[in-house]
Structure 1
Amino acid sequence: MTNDGKKEPADEEDGFVEDERGFFAEQRPKSAGLAKAPLASKSPEMHYHGHRDRLRQRFRENGDTALADYEILELLLFRLIPRRDTKPIAKALLDRFGTLGGVFGADLKLLQEVKGIGETVAVDLKLMSALAHRMLKSEIKGKKVLSSWSSVIDYCHAAMAYETREQFRILFLDKRNALIADEVQQRGTIDHTPVYPREVVKRALELSATAIILVHNHPSGDPTPSRADIDMTKMIVDTAKPLGVTVHDHIIIGKEGHASLKGLRLI
Structure 2
Amino acid sequence: MTKSGDKADARPAGMEEAAVPHYHGHRQRLRERFMEAGAAALADYELMELLLFRSIPRRDVKPLAKALIERHGSFAEALAARPERLREIPGLTEGAIIDLKVTEAAARRLARGAIEKRMVLSSFSMVTDYCRTAMAYAEREEFRVLFLDKKNALIADEVQGVGTVDHTPVYPREVVRRALELGASALILAHNHPSGDPTPSAADISMTREIATIAQPFGISVHDHLIVGRDGQTSFRGLKLL
TM-score by length of 2: 0.91
- After TM superposition, list the pairs within 5 Å mapping 1:48-63 onto structure 2: 48-63=23-38
State the 1:69 CA deviation.
2.1
| Pair 1:107 & 2:82 matched | yes
Structure 2 match to 1:143: 118
**Identical-pair percentage:** 58
- After TM superposition, list the pairs within 5 Å mapping 1:31-180 onto structure 2: 39-43=15-19, 46-180=21-155
| Pair 1:223 & 2:198 matched | yes
Query: SS at the partner of 1:135?
Result: helix
Structure 2 Cα separation of the partners of residues 39 and 76 of structure 1: 30
Letter in 2 for 1:102: E
Structure 2 Cα separation of the partners of residues 224 and 64 of structure 1: 31
Structure 2 Cα separation of the partners of residues 131 and 168 of structure 1: 21
- Greater mean alpha carbon deviation, residues 106-115 or residues 133-142: 106-115
Query: SS at the partner of 2:233?
Result: strand
State the 1:105 CA deviation.
1.1
| Pair 1:189 & 2:164 matched | yes
Structure-2 change in CA distance of 1:232 and 1:95 (3 Å): same
Residues 41 and 47 of structure 1 are in contact (CA less than 8 Å); yes or no, is this contact kept in structure 2? no
Residues 216 and 252 of structure 1 are in contact (CA less than 8 Å); yes or no, is this contact kept in structure 2? yes
Q: Which residue of 221, 225, 232 corresponds with 1:257? A: 232
Give the CA RMSD over aligned residues.
1.6
Structure 2 Cα separation of the partners of residues 66 and 210 of structure 1: 43
State the 1:84 CA deviation.
0.9
Letter in 1 for 2:63: P
Structure 2 Cα separation of the partners of residues 156 and 40 of structure 1: 51
Structure-2 change in CA distance of 1:226 and 1:40 (3 Å): farther
Structure 2 Cα separation of the partners of residues 122 and 97 of structure 1: 14
Residues 119 and 151 of structure 2 are in contact (CA less than 8 Å); yes or no, is this contact kept in structure 1? yes
Which stretches in structure 2 are left out of the alignment for 5+ residues?
Answer: 1-11
Structure-2 change in CA distance of 1:40 and 1:133 (3 Å): farther
Residues 249 and 262 of structure 1 are in contact (CA less than 8 Å); yes or no, is this contact kept in structure 2? yes
Which stretches in structure 1 are left out of the alignment for 5+ residues?
Answer: 1-35
Structure 1 match to 2:4: none
Letter in 2 for 1:71: E
Number of equivalences: 231
State the 1:37 CA deviation.
11
Letter in 2 for 1:251: L
Letter in 2 for 1:182: D
Structure 1 Cα separation of the partners of residues 88 and 100 of structure 2: 14
Query: SS at the partner of 2:115?
Result: coil
Structure-2 change in CA distance of 1:37 and 1:198 (3 Å): farther
Structure 2 Cα separation of the partners of residues 176 and 37 of structure 1: 70
Structure-2 change in CA distance of 1:229 and 1:65 (3 Å): closer
State the 1:40 CA deviation.
4.8
State the 1:192 CA deviation.
1.1
- Greater mean alpha carbon deviation, residues 46-55 or residues 139-148: 46-55
Structure-2 change in CA distance of 1:209 and 1:50 (3 Å): same
- After TM superposition, list the pairs within 5 Å mapping 1:23-38 onto structure 2: none
Residues 166 and 192 of structure 1 are in contact (CA less than 8 Å); yes or no, is this contact kept in structure 2? yes
Structure-2 change in CA distance of 1:150 and 1:85 (3 Å): same
TM-score by length of 1: 0.83
